[in-house]
Amino acid sequence: MGYTVLVVDDSETIRGALVKAFKMAKLPMEEVVQAGDGREALDVLKGKWVDMVLTDINMPNMGGVELLAAMKADPGLKDIPVAVVSTEGSQTRMTSLKEAGIAGYLRKPCRPEEIRDLLHSVLGEWS
């Protein structure tokens, strides 16, 4: 048993690096589901329950901001916490993302312990 997390990033390398970081942080992962953009993520969420979504912002087809908006507009998805993992460092952007309902924000490159702290703060420590 453990966390089930959906990782959304158009880079397979970044998705793989996040999976590596989960292992390095010794997080109890039930499953890491992956999607290459917001549209794929919404397709995954139609048939899969997850504890949390970690998403990039800039992606082709549907970015992280649009994914967040779509999830917040869907009664079945609006309560799933969404955290952003992005290269962007604008405080203005971060404020607007918080107002839009993100549960957390990490800046790339991020360390395993930062990812662990984010999951603990959003989901609580697994016991």
Beta partners for residue 85, in sequence order: 106
Of 17, 33, 70, 80, the residue at the interface with other proteins (CB under 8 A) is: 17
Gap between the Cα atoms of 12 and 72, Å rounded: 26
Count of Cβ atoms closer than 10 Å to residue 43 Cβ = 11
Of 24, 76, 113, 125, the residue at the interface with other proteins (CB under 8 A) is: 24
**DSSP output for 8-70:** E-S-HHHHHHHHHHHHHTT--EEEEEEESSHHHHHHHHHH---SEEEE-S--SSS-HHHHHHH
Shortest spacing between CB 20 and other proteins, in angstroms: 4
Whether the bond into 81 is cis, omega within 30 of 0: no
Of 1, 26, 79, 92, the residue at the interface with other proteins (CB under 8 A) is: 92
Of 1, 26, 47, 91, the residue at the interface with other proteins (CB under 8 A) is: 91
Shortest spacing between CB 49 and other proteins, in angstroms: 27
Cα 66 to chain centroid, rounded = 13
Tell me the per-residue interface mask from 37 to 76 with other proteins, x by CB under 8 A, - otherwise. ---------------------xxx----------------
What is the total count of residues that contact other proteins (CB under 8 A)?
25
Footprint of other proteins (CB under 8 A): 10-14, 16-17, 20, 23-24, 58-60, 86-93, 107-109, 111
